[in-house]
Amino acid sequence: MHNGRGSDALQSPAQTVVIGGGISGLACAFRLCQLGIPVLLLEQSQRVGGVIDSVQQDGFLFERGPQSFLSTDLLLELIDALGLGPELLRADPRAPRYILTGGRLEPVPMAPPALLTTPLLGISSKWKLLSEPFRRSQPPANDESVADFVRRKFGSELLELLVGPFVSGVYAGDPEKLSLRSAFPSAYQWEKDYGSVLRGAIKSRPPKEKPRATLCTFRDGVVTLVRTLGEKLGDAVHRGASVISVRRGKTNCKSQFELQVTSHGRTELLRASAVVVATATEPAGRLLAGISEQFPMHFAKIEYAPVAVVASGYRREQMQHPAEGFGFLVPQRERLRVLGTVWNSSLFAGRAPAGMVNLTSFAGGATDPDLLHWSDAEVADTVAQEVARVLKITGPPVTSHVQRYACALPQYNLGHNVTIEALRELCAASPVLFLTGNYLEGPSIGVCVEQAFRTARGVQQYLALTGELAHDLEGKP
């Protein structure tokens, strides 16, 4: 898998340069290597992984970003290719999830019979849900918000109690602003194709014999995935290499781009025949301003939600609630800063020492950005007090860890599809320029990997088309 290049200095020309070593950039670079395309990945920090990182603290295994990932087919393929199968841990798919309502935790109904009996919803919401397949409709022509869609199809109770909390669990987002067609494209498509989201969901169910995707992590945390990708890429990865700008190269030379890169205190010029930008939108806009001023303009339209991740360890006897299952989500009307809490040590083994419990809470999000200005201690205290009330905990946590992101998750807000289309058109005008990242097709790790693999395929097709690949692979099997 190694490229055979020295790792100290940046050497050019690399055929393809990937900028950004989060899961998107790593997966793209790995796939390019698998396709036999020489690649150089430039990551500004000293470690790869971006928002994915796991830390050992006082015997607890805390996740600073994503807590787990869904076992999509492609992700499992990648895990297999990396030899990480034996490290994989799967959560019990039946682990109950809870919603906080009136200060109490109620299980989320996961199947139709539970929907009928759940005290979470009144009779009118239940009727709207169960009769939805028979009330055919079509999505409006304009971009509809998730909130408007749910109110139109199911009523405001479902929005407040189930969809709102779910949306904050995935996007830390505001359902009034998130676009249904961009944030939940399947739901949009199901209504369009079948006149009903439930009918569409049933028709699109995978065959019974296919194992359902489950939540997974690794024995040593989610970081195993990015760390192993970094190791496999070997000297194709340059850490501490910050790209300052990307410009078009001279037209008569084979290298289409010139990158200004700062590494080890030196600024160097690097040539590349294809560039994949795998950073968040703000740096992407800055880097590509020299190609077109329209890049920063369009990228600036994509907002991010801030999130604080508070991981805490407690002694089991401090808690009255068993905290068995996935965890709980909090509707806005409960007026808490906590958006939700994952019960990590109930989901996966090895997250806490014996007799201890590992909980991770999320606070902030698009609807509560002020939290970003608080100190870590204030965030940790507030979260501890709120979680203590819900789970009947006495005393402070034995240890805790706060990680804050000013720009945690891109918001697929109204008009997102237009912005993405404009960015795609800009890239099409520079055929050797590719974008990959969590603002394009979905923020989950699985979707980032799928998108990154497709991007690598696009690079391969382009290079094959222009003959550069054939030239560079000449003589290779």
The contact set with ligand FAD (CB under 6 A) reads: 19-25, 42-45, 50-52, 65-69, 242-243, 278-280, 283, 287, 307, 309, 405, 408-409, 437-438, 443-445, 448
**Strands, E assignment, 318-388:** 327-329, 338-342, 356-364
Report the residue number, 349 or 354, with the smaller CB distance to ligand FAD: 349
Between 60 and 362, whose beta carbon lies closer to ligand FAD?
Answer: 362
Q: Which residues on adjacent β-strands are paired with residue 340?
A: 329, 362
CB of 277 to ligand FAD, least distance (A): 9
Q: Are 338 and 312 in contact (CB under 8 A)?
A: no
Question: What tokens appear for 121 in the block?
Answer: 């919803």
Among candidates 184, 28, 75, which has minimal Cα distance to 446?
75
What is the nearest approach in angstroms of ligand FAD to the Cβ of residue 305?
Answer: 9
CB of 104 to ligand FAD, least distance (A): 25
Pick the closer one to ligand FAD by CB: 63 or 160.
63
Beta-sheet strands, E only, within 382-475: 399-410, 433-435
Dihedral in degrees, nearest 10, Cα atoms 386, 318, 321, 408: 40
Q: Which is nearer to ligand FAD, 42 or 330 (CB)?
A: 42
The minimum distance between CB 47 and ligand FAD, in angstroms, equals: 8
72/318 with CB nearer ligand FAD? 72
Three-state DSSP class for residue 49: strand
* Helix axis angle, 73-81 to 23-34, nearest 10°: 70
CB of 98 within 8 A of CB of 107?
Answer: yes
Helices of type H across 218-279: 223-233
Of residues 196 and 344, the one with the C-beta less far from ligand FAD: 344
Structure tokens at 280: 């968040």
Tokens 């489950």 belong to residue: 214
Question: Minimum distance between the CB of residue 254 and ligand FAD, rounded to whole angstroms?
Answer: 24
CB of 227 to ligand FAD, least distance (A): 13
C-alpha closest to that of 41 among 27, 57, 52, 56 = 27
Contact 277, 288 (CB under 8 A): yes
C-alpha dist (Å) from residue 60 to 213, 218, 379, 390: 27, 14, 20, 22
CB of 342 to ligand FAD, least distance (A): 8
In the complex with ligand FAD, the residue whose CB is nearer, 34 or 444, is 444
Report the residue number, 292 or 466, with the smaller CB distance to ligand FAD: 292
- In angstroms, give the least distance from the CB of 142 to ligand FAD: 27
Q: Give the span between the Cα atoms of 260 and 238, in whole angstroms.
A: 14
Nearer to ligand FAD, 364 or 397 (CB): 364
Q: Is 229 exposed, middle or buried (0-12, 13-18, 19+ CB in 10 A)?
A: buried
- The answer to whether the CB of 22 falls within 8 A of the CB of 229 is no
- Cβ at position 405, least distance to ligand FAD in Å: 5
Least distance CB 128 / ligand FAD (angstroms): 30
Closest approach, Cβ 28 to ligand FAD, in A, equals 9
- Residue 380's nearest CA partner among 360, 353, 409 is 360
Distance between CA 207 and CA 193 in Å, rounded? 20
CA angle (441 as vertex; 438, 446 as ends), nearest 5: 65
Q: How far is the CB of 24 from ligand FAD (least distance, A)?
A: 3
Cβ atoms 387, 304 nearer than 8 A: no
Nearer to ligand FAD, 198 or 302 (CB): 302
**Smaller CB separation from ligand FAD, 114 or 406:** 406
Question: Given the complex with ligand FAD, which of 158 and 402 has the nearer CB atom?
Answer: 402
| Cα–Cα dist 146/367, whole Å | 15
CA distance 23 to 227: 10
Asked if 194 contacts 203 with a C-beta cutoff of 8 angstroms, the reply is yes
